[in-house]
Amino acid sequence: MARYTDASCRLCRREAQKLFLKGERCYTKKCSAEKRAYAPGQHGQQRKKQSEYGLQLREKQKAKRFYGVLERQFGSYFDMAVKRRGVTGTNLLQILESRLDNVVYRLGLASSRAEARQLVRHAHFTVNGQKVNIPSYLVKPGDVVALRQKSRSIDKFKSILEITGSKIVPAWLEFDYDNLSGRVVSLAAREDVDVQVSEHLIVELYSK
């Protein structure tokens, strides 16, 4: 499956909830998910009864789109979650939250996960002092993610940092505004994950 290149707002409308794919626009009246609160396409306003498989598929698609992950990679994350101790659904969400692009977004250093992916690819961040340009890099408790010194004068980051101070950082992360760095305190707990997804349905789907 290739990278999705159509309008991001169509994905939110298809899942009938905000996935916050457009950054600050999602918090304004311009949000398409609010202006057109129905699925895209000519049959979008029709009410259809979903099957059990359909409900499970929608939850998987919602999680994939929320984190910007492709099908094969999402399947790999599920395999990793199965091998870990604990609840598979919670393990899956912890792995997705541990992606470097998601951590950058959670720290408030990007306005959306899509922007965070682009900034990571352009090597604006370090992990434990080493430059990392892989958005899917999985951080661990104790890792320190920081904005590179040479990137701090870029106008884009100046505008992002103007709103960073008002953003709430989840409990599993610590943000040092003076040094523009964040430390991973622990793996994300289920209550720290704000995506409205029923992960047990994803587990049921992959368990068939």
Kindly report the number of other CB atoms within 10 A of residue 17's CB atom: 15
CB 188 within 8 A of CB 94: yes
Kindly report the number of other CB atoms within 10 A of residue 194's CB atom: 10
Tokens of 27: 């918090």
**Residues with Cβ < 8 Å from 159, sequence gap 6 or more?**
none
Tokens of 16: 């009938």
CB 59 within 8 A of CB 202: yes
Tens of pLDDT along the chain (208 residues)? 456 555 555 565 555 565 555 555 555 555 555 545 545 555 455 666 778 888 899 899 889 988 989 999 999 999 999 999 999 999 999 999 999 999 999 998 888 888 899 999 999 999 999 999 999 999 999 999 999 988 888 877 777 666 555 568 899 999 988 888 999 999 999 998 888 889 999 999 998 7
